[in-house]
């Protein structure tokens, strides 16, 4: 029987309580990984995954997450830096606060998530880091200058990290989702959704599981061992 080779690998997913993060947690569990995820609700061992309360804006809190995960599940092989937010508005109306808060969560949060694990991965000579960027980070999106800037920055971070980390046996990749049905896109007015759908060649939004499978592929030490520094677009041909 073929497998993705994730059995018993310890993987941390940030923002794992709903949406793309929750779908990723569930899929990784089904693939046999030992999964931990950050949640803003509480610490618990829920449905076979370890939930740890943490805000990715807080570097010290994420350091503590790293300690707890390693204590309870063992050395971390994989990271899915998924936690993210939007605060959309047209550029002249975007406040400085709405810029800074996106940078704090979507960019600094990713840095806080990777940092505590990278040296251990280098020492062990294995690891796979997956960051969730966005179609907006590659092609831009009206009303999302702040969001797109953070998501493009994550691509730069990952491409550089991939060049540094290859010699240590560690890979770093990005998944760039198109429009996916989650709480994040629920806020889009129906009329706008219809307009966006008409632009997507497959004529529908994606599902959180579509992104989870892409993350699992990039985490896999079997399926993607020669893939690093890559941006995997999962967007129904919305941007190719």
Which residues are catalytic, by number? Answer: 147
Q: CB pairs under 8 A, 24+ apart, for 61-67?
A: 62/38, 62/112, 62/113, 62/115, 62/116, 63/115, 63/116, 65/12, 65/36, 65/38, 65/116, 66/12, 66/116, 66/117
Residue 82 or 228: the one with the smaller Cβ distance to ligand NAD is: 82
- The residue behind tokens 């806020």 is 187
The least distance separating ligand NAD from the CB of residue 136, rounded to whole angstroms, comes to 7
Q: Which one among 179, 212, 232, 238 touches ligand NAD, defined by CB under 6 A?
A: 179
Site string for ligand NAD, 57-86 (x = CB under 6 A): x------------------------xxxx-
Stretch that binds ligand NAD, among 3-11, 121-129, 178-186, 221-229 (CB under 6 A): 178-186
Burial class (CB in 10 A: 0-12, 13-18, 19+), 37: buried
Q: Number of C-alpha atoms within 13 angstroms, CB side, residue 167?
A: 3
Q: Tell me how far apart the alpha carbons of residues 58 and 234 are, in angstroms, rounded to a whole number.
A: 30
Instruction: List the Cα angle 58/25/12 in 5-degree steps.
Output: 40
Q: Tell me how far apart the alpha carbons of residues 229 and 14 are, in angstroms, rounded to a whole number.
A: 20
144 binding ligand NAD? (CB under 6 A) = no
37 binding ligand NAD? (CB under 6 A) = no
Q: Which one among 132, 152, 170, 212 touches ligand NAD, defined by CB under 6 A?
A: 132
SS3 of residue 164 by DSSP: helix
Q: Tell me how far apart the alpha carbons of residues 59 and 136 are, in angstroms, rounded to a whole number.
A: 26
Q: Which one among 17, 111, 197, 207 touches ligand NAD, defined by CB under 6 A?
A: 17
The least distance separating ligand NAD from the CB of residue 7, rounded to whole angstroms, comes to 25
Residue 121 or 154: the one with the smaller Cβ distance to ligand NAD is: 154
Candidates 10, 125, 155; CA nearest to 72 is 10
The least distance separating ligand NAD from the CB of residue 71, rounded to whole angstroms, comes to 20
Candidates 84, 131, 107, 125; CA nearest to 231 is 131
Residue 109 or 116: the one with the smaller Cβ distance to ligand NAD is: 109
Q: Which one among 32, 46, 53, 55 touches ligand NAD, defined by CB under 6 A?
A: 55
The least distance separating ligand NAD from the CB of residue 160, rounded to whole angstroms, comes to 19
Residue 168 or 185: the one with the smaller Cβ distance to ligand NAD is: 185
The least distance separating ligand NAD from the CB of residue 176, rounded to whole angstroms, comes to 7
| Binding-site ranges for ligand NAD (CB under 6 A) | 14-15, 17-21, 38, 40, 55-57, 82-85, 105, 109, 132, 134, 177, 179-180, 182-185
């Amino acid at each position: 029987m073929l497998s993705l080779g994730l059995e018993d690998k310890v993987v941390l997913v940030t923002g794992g309580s709903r949406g793309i993060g929750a779908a990723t947690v569930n899929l990784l569990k089904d693939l046999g990984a030992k999964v931990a995820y950050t949640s803003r609700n509480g610490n618990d061992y829920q449905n076979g995954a370890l939930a740890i309360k943490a805000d990715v804006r807080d570097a010290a809190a994420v350091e503590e997450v790293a300690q707890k995960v390693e204590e309870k599940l063992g050395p971390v092989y994989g990271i899915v830096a998924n936690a993210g937010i939007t605060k959309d508005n047209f550029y002249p109306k975007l406040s400085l606060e709405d810029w800074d808060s996106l940078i704090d969560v979507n960019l600094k949060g990713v840095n806080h998530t990777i940092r505590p694990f990278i040296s251990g991965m280098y020492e062990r000579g294995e690891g796979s880091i997956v960051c969730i960027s966005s179609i907006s980070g590659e092609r831009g999106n009206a009303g999302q200058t702040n969001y797109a800037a953070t998501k493009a920055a994550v691509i730069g971070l990952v491409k550089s990290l991939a060049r540094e980390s290859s010699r240590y046996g560690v890979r770093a990749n990005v998944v760039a989702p198109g429009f996916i049905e989650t709480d994040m896109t629920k806020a889009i007015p129906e009329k706008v959704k219809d307009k966006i759908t008409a632009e997507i060649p497959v004529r529908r939004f994606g599902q959180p599981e579509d992104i989870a499978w892409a993350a699992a592929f990039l985490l896999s030490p079997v399926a993607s061992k020669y893939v690093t520094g890559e941006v995997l677009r999962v967007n129904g041909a919305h941007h190719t």
